Amino acid sequence: MMTGTDTIKQQAPGAGATGTGQAKAALQVFAGGTCYGAMATTYKLAYAAGFTSAQVVASQAWFGCLFFVLAALAGRALGHHWQRVGWKLTLKLMGLGALTCLTSILYCYAISVLPAPVALTLLFQFTWLGLVWQTVMTRQPPRPLQVLSALVIVFGTVLASSVYKTGIAGYDPVTLLYALGAAVSCSLFVTLSGRVKAPCSSEQRGVIVCMGSVVMSLTVCPDYVVSGVLAQGILPFAVIAGFFGLLCPVLLFGVGSPHLPAGLSTVMAAAELPAGLLIAMIVLGEPLGAVEWLGVAIILTGVCLAQVPSLLGGREARRAAAGQAVS
């Protein structure tokens, strides 16, 4: 697989942990969350075209893997070599893929049964669940500003998703648990993406991650390849789902999240909802009222709040460096 300066590389552990480096990593995770924003609209369009949630999930897994394989083969054709990855690390990376596919399985089912605002609001509990995983893994409580940021984002989600109008009472409890399960698996994927590091290129890492996603997709759609669903017109949805639902997030989370606290990674991934609402407004014509726009603004405010410590740290580091230069 591609190595050295000829390919996209995994950043060294700890690189850019503060200041501008952390801000760059946060933007990468933010962009990964934004890519997820295209998924709700893609799912709705695929359902309207007559495809099932299982077929959409399998499409996302198979085409995401295909894109990574093509990137890896392009590097191979240029003479780059693959790195040897041990079986233990391979299983860990495949586990990441299984987690992101599980999120799609649970969320796709939930959004096919529940109103979209309810499913979205429950999914977005991953913003504070990331703080829970951070506390468990580091045995240190999150910073007060991180907690405040997560609370602000959850509050903004309630407004932006319009769930304040409908509430969640009266819906099937099992389906609600599916949506909450998607939040748990999503938060674990974002959190563990920063902890499972591989001594190989992002393309090779992505192939292994997506192999786990493909294996998990077989649990809901084992006959995807031979079912003829591609000839039935699912290809456009498969391409979009594979690109925005796997290729881009796996790349961006894999590069950015190792340099962020787990709680901050999940907070930055909250960009999914504002992006999803804007895409739904443009593509599906779903209107956004004043309250929904306020919710979007509150979510973005919460994301900015989470970045205050790293920005202040970067400013202090620059001042210290300037002082050393003068002395």
* Length of the chain counted residue by residue: 327
| pLDDT tens for each residue of 85-115 | 889 999 999 999 999 999 999 998 888 888 7
The single residue listed with the structure tokens 């001042």 is 319
Classify residue 24 as exposed, middle or buried by CB count within 10 Å of its CB (0-12, 13-18, 19+): middle
Q: How far apart are CA 90 and CA 267, in angstroms?
A: 27
**200 secondary structure, DSSP code:** S
Nearest to 287 by CA among 300, 295, 277, 297: 277
| pLDDT at 76 (0 to 100) | 81
Q: How far apart are CA 224 and CA 66, in angstroms?
A: 14
> Do the Cβ atoms of 24 and 308 come closer than 8 Å?
no
| pLDDT at 312 (0 to 100) | 58
| pLDDT at 220 (0 to 100) | 93
| pLDDT tens for each residue of 122-133 | 888 888 888 888
| pLDDT at 7 (0 to 100) | 37
Q: How far apart are CA 122 and CA 117, in angstroms?
A: 9
> Do the Cβ atoms of 209 and 95 come closer than 8 Å?
no
Nearest to 191 by CA among 248, 148, 138: 138
Q: How far apart are CA 125 and CA 129, in angstroms?
A: 6
Residue that wins the pLDDT comparison between 8 and 31: 31
Tokens in use for 132? Answer: 């829970």
The pLDDT of 272-297, averaged and rounded, is 85
Cα angle: 164, vertex 166, 168; to 5 degrees? 95
| pLDDT at 5 (0 to 100) | 30
> Do the Cβ atoms of 154 and 124 come closer than 8 Å?
yes
The single residue listed with the structure tokens 């099992």 is 174
| pLDDT tens for each residue of 35-59 | 888 888 898 899 999 999 999 999 9
Nearest to 84 by CA among 189, 196, 3: 3
| pLDDT at 325 (0 to 100) | 47
